[in-house]
């Protein structure tokens, strides 16, 4: 893929993100033949532009790892992107709806590794043996595409809709819980809107981290120790509105919440 085209497509999604404006998906007209591999080349350019602007990578995120998300988004394969420092929302804080296009939230389980994991052939058992902590999280996604309408290559080129993350501070050792049967409810203004269990994420959230390590190894990269890793939405994502109080309650991992102004 031509360098100029990579740059053009990266500018297309990244400018929409910076200007908080919806765009038509790349594959609609601009470049219908975009492949997943090319989507990652565009994503890499977006990541580089963010790094050049002084933003820092906090950690990787997996997406489309549950049946619920595959059906909701009409795409069928796990993907990865990156959460940056300017996306982090503290527990109990408020976000402003005007800082986003059409934000949604989804409950996730996070991992922090004690040592780097390098694929290929990383197994979920390798992941659990290399995990320092697991923690509860809420991801805020905000596709830059109209109505969250995209194909897999489009969403990869858009850094997998990454826009915000609330990393819960209730850290637990991985052997303190059976993550596949950790339940979660997602509530808006005290009303349960979605619920699920860790097993929704590729059978067990550790599978998602293994998959990430194995996908990254194709580029000669690894999953790094110490970074918070998001394993993907357990449930479908829920649209936010001004005035919302968002809370997620996890079995054995506690609660996290934030406000929308």
Contacts of 145 (CB under 8 A, 6+ apart): 22, 23, 24, 25, 154, 155, 158
For residues 120 to 149, the per-residue mask of contacts with Mg ion, x marking binding by CB under 5 A and - elsewhere, is: -------------------x----------
In the list 63, 110, 168, 174, the residue contacting ligand OOG (rule: CB under 6 A) is 63
How many chain residues touch ligand OOG (CB under 6 A)? 16
Is residue 198 at the binding interface for ligand OOG, with CB under 6 A as the rule? no
User: What are phi and psi for residue 15, nearest 5 degrees?
Assistant: -65, -40
Quote the least distance from Cβ 152 to ligand OOG, whole Å: 10
For residues 153 to 172, the per-residue mask of contacts with ligand OOG, x marking binding by CB under 6 A and - elsewhere, is: --x----xx-----------
Structure tokens belonging to residue 122: 């990383």
For residues 119 to 148, the per-residue mask of contacts with ligand OOG, x marking binding by CB under 6 A and - elsewhere, is: --------------------x-x-x----x
Is residue 228 at the binding interface for ligand OOG, with CB under 6 A as the rule? no
Q: Closest Cα partner for 194 from 133, 239, 153? A: 239
| Residue 148 interaction partner, one of Mg ion, ligand OOG, none, beta carbon < 5-8 Å per kind | ligand OOG
Is residue 27 at the binding interface for ligand OOG, with CB under 6 A as the rule? no
- The DSSP string of 124-176 is HHHHHHTEEEEEEEEEEE--SBGGG---HHHHHHTGGGEEEEEE-S--B-GGG
| C-alpha to C-alpha distance for 129 and 131, rounded to whole angstroms | 6
Pairing status of strand 94-95 against strand 79-84: unpaired
| Residue 14 interaction partner, one of ligand OOG, Mg ion, none, beta carbon < 5-8 Å per kind | none
Contact criterion met (CB below 8 Å) for 26 and 15: no
Nearer to ligand OOG, 76 or 116 (CB): 76
* Residue whose token pair is 């409810």: 185
Binders of Mg ion among 178-237, rule CB under 5 A?
233
* Residue whose token pair is 């850094």: 159
Binding piece for Mg ion, criterion CB under 5 A, among 62-70, 82-90, 92-100, 215-223: 62-70
In this structure, the dihedral spanned by the alpha carbons of residues 101, 107, 113 and 116, taken in order and rounded to 10 degrees, is: -50
* Residue whose token pair is 């601009």: 30
User: What residues line the site for ligand OOG (CB under 6 A)?
Assistant: 61, 63-64, 69, 73, 106, 139, 141, 143, 148, 155, 160-161, 232-233, 237
User: What residues line the site for Mg ion (CB under 5 A)?
Assistant: 63, 139, 233
């Amino acid at each position: 893929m031509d360098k100029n085209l990579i740059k053009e497509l990266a500018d297309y999604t990244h400018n929409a993100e910076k200007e908080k404006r919806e765009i038509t998906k790349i594959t609609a007209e601009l470049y219908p033949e975009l492949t997943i591999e090319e989507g990652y080349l565009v994503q890499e350019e977006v990541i580089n532009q963010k790094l050049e602007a002084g933003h820092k990578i906090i950690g990787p995120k997996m997406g489309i790892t549950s049946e619920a998300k595959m059906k909701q988004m009409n795409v069928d394969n796990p993907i990865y992107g990156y959460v940056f420092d300017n996306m982090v929302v503290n527990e109990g804080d408020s976000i402003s709806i005007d800082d986003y296009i059409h934000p949604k939230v989804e409950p996730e389980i996070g991992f922090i590794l004690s040592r780097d994991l390098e694929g290929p052939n990383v197994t979920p058992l390798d992941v659990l043996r290399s995990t320092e902590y697991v923690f509860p999280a809420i991801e805020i996604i905000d596709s830059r595409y109209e109505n969250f309408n995209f194909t897999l290559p489009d969403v990869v080129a858009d850094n997998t809709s990454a826009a915000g993350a609330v990393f819960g501070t209730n850290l637990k050792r991985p052997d303190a819980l059976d993550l596949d049967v950790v339940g979660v409810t997602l509530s808006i203004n005290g009303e349960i809107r979605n619920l699920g269990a860790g097993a929704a994420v590729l059978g067990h959230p550790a599978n998602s981290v293994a998959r990430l390590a194995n996908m990254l190894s194709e580029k000669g990269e690894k999953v790094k120790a110490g970074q918070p890793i998001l394993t993907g939405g357990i449930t479908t994502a829920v649209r936010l509105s001004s005035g919302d109080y968002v809370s997620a309650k996890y079995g054995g991992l506690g609660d996290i919440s934030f406000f929308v102004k």
